[in-house]
Chains A and B, each alone.
Chain A
């Protein structure tokens, strides 16, 4: 594994920072020159019309795609990825060695995500879905799985001790998310809203510092959306998380987020608090079209 690139003068209050990030697919620029910084403990929302490049940004952060240009820096200044060019000091364009970390490497540094179209381990039980994601809490090797008893020296009884801790953690997470009574059900048979909750529980199982939620309220009715809203706040406080959220439900976004970033056709449009965004004429235009007067002039 290549050595980490560490940015020394990284602001310790910033959890994640995107620096002039661009992603091109052939001739199409899916994300163009996007920069933002998410502070620790913040709930940061990413909004924009369909096809604006929101999920692409998630995929860039999580290492599914490699960056074309720019740089993504995580907590403590670790560079998660960088393209062939980065812009330094806002003017000079410098050529750098591209960095593309593997997704599991990025995710095991304290990032977790959920998906727009739910991706559970479908034919496994609810309990096992979360238990699988808890794997980072266990470091026993394949030979240590052969001894199942707590008795014995520490190196021998690793499995029993660690596995017990994982199961406790899983139980706790399922109870917090309110899906403990479904634990023996096969994941795919769960009602839709519970599948969303299970996906969040699975994400939390990896002990993240930063949680990426991709349209968590998609397909939920208004009551469920309200419940989800308080749940997001609750888990943020309880697990001391920073949350980056993509969402189309405006009432959820405006209520839950501290700051909002608006994307339109891959380009940054605005950034600010919910109040500022709601008043921003450009944002209103992007969402609703230009306001016209009675004569039909713009």
Chain B
């Protein structure tokens, strides 16, 4: 395997991770399933390409604008749909995701700024996009967002989102503005998707609405659940594994999607709560466990010791 090939998989993992991270905030933490996330990635991809190719803006600015556009759309959608309960929200996102794709499928625009004509011709897509997403760039972006997400989730805002997922009525009764928490989750999720869309477009070098089918949205949701709801390290693990898996399975040719499905099913049977089961992989805990193994004592670290169960009859 050449480095070029591996690098490709890594870049793909990076921007997919960004999408999954966003979706993890929405689905894993706030408990709202979105099956239209590919639509927001699509928006990000097209907006960023228009920015770089038609308007000649720098790549980072294009990503930012792509993210903000997607976020604005997501926020607007959230304002309308977040009052909806569970399944209805799910259907609404599904509809919006497909609608966005179909709009770009039928959109014909030509922009001419500074002499270079830029033509967006619906389903034909866009070719020869500058290849700006290199591995270091993708890695830096994803690490920054990963850190920010981890910090945010471990704060009042993240806890409020979790409370919404756990029991919305109880959350409201604790004085939490659940609508605002859901809006925050939705906008962040769409911001991430938009930026990732821009990275994706500038990695592939071409863009077609067909790249944003509903199956893509489902794939992202699978990655979140596969890694474990409400776990950031789980999302990372799930994404990297599920991005690499189809490539590793190239050897079996046409059977690879069957094996992919099989792998997902097996994991869900063996670990129904996902790989990490809602827990985080913490280096501190890991080190203590390893240290415990080596020192021969198999004591759990003090703050993990289960309390002595007092006998209380219900």
Contact = CB atoms under 8 A, between A and B. Distances in A.
Interface of A: 62, 64, 102-104, 107-108, 112-113, 115, 119-124, 128, 131-133, 135-136, 138, 140, 142, 145-146, 148, 159, 163, 166, 181-182, 184-185, 191-194, 202-203, 205-206, 219, 221, 224
Contacts of A166: 156
B152 A145 contact: yes
B284 interface: no
B174 A133 contact: yes
B155 A112 contact: no
Contacts of A108: 175
B57 to A, nearest CB: 24
A120 B176 contact: no
Nearest to A207: B175
Contacts of B155: 140, 142, 145, 159, 163
Q: What class of interface size applies to chain B in its complex with A?
A: 35 or more
Interface of B: 148, 151-152, 154-157, 159-160, 162-163, 166-167, 169-178, 184, 278, 303-304, 306-310, 312-314
Which of B160, B167, B174 has most A Cβ within 10 Å?
B174
B226 to A, nearest CB: 18
B167 A122 contact: yes
Contact of B170 (A102, A120, A159, A219): A120
Contacts of B308: 181
Contact of A184 (B159, B177, B303): B303
Given A104-B176, A104-B177, A104-B178, A192 B312 contact: yes
A142 B152 CA distance: 7
Nearest to A128: B159
B160 A124 contact: no
Contact of B157 (A62, A128, A145): A145
A163 B175 CA distance: 18
Contacts of A182: 307
B162 to A, nearest CB: 6
